[in-house]
Amino acid sequence: MDEEITNIQLWSDLLKSCMSCEKCELHKTKTKTVFGKGSHEAKIMFIGEAPGESEDREGLPFVGRAGKLLDKYMAYFDLTLDNVYTANILKCRPPKNRDPAESEQDSCIDYLRAQTKLIDPKIIVCLGRIAAVRIIKPDFKITSEHGLWFKKGDIYMTAIYHPSALLRDPAKKSDALLDFKSVHAKAVELGVL
């Protein structure tokens, strides 16, 4: 753990550090660093694995086709950038949208830890298997454990199918709807919505 990063207490300092990061080779191939978006006061965080092509171009997470689908689900359950913060484990796009290497995740995870520390969320929603394996537990099985709740300290965590998986397999959309319903119910239960 890089305590210099995880102990940063100002968003502006964290952003500056992340924008100048050269801890892995991805900084050489990125177009833009994709830091995060949403409210710094949010008590709900959505965390994905890495930026895609659209995100790399715009410098914001979840702005491509998968992001637009995520926005629809969120809006249906009153989840907006006013009450949610979205980020990825990696802040730079892996070439050709390949899965992030473990070494790349290791290089970048402290930025996410610092974001999480500054936000102090009550709920973390992992988008997809890779985020769930890194954040919830190493043997997470997305097909059998999506929508289940886990608790670490004071944070409730769950994982749902990544919206890009829903685009590839629309049959999973009914599961996603139930998972979002569960996220909404937990947010209401905890008084964060």
The pTM (predicted TM-score) of the whole model is 0.97
If phi over 0 gives left and psi between -120 and 50 gives alpha, with beta otherwise, what is residue 96?
left
Encode the chain (193 residues) as per-residue pLDDT tens digits.
Answer: 888 998 899 999 999 999 999 999 999 999 999 999 999 999 999 999 999 999 999 999 999 999 999 999 999 999 999 999 999 999 999 999 899 999 999 999 999 999 999 999 999 999 999 999 999 999 999 999 999 999 999 999 999 999 999 999 999 999 999 999 999 999 999 999 9
Domain spanning 3-189 has what CATH number? 3.40.470.10
Contact at 8 Å (CB) between 73 and 33?
no
Q: Which of 124, 116, 119 lies closest to 155, judged by CA?
A: 124
The whole-number pLDDT of residue 49 equals: 97
Whole-number Å distance between alpha carbons of 167 and 161: 10
Domain ranges of the chain: 3-189
Which residue is it, tokens 């996410």?
112
189: Cβ–Cβ under 8 A, 6 or more apart, which residues? none
In DSSP terms, which residues pair with 123 in a beta bridge?
44, 156
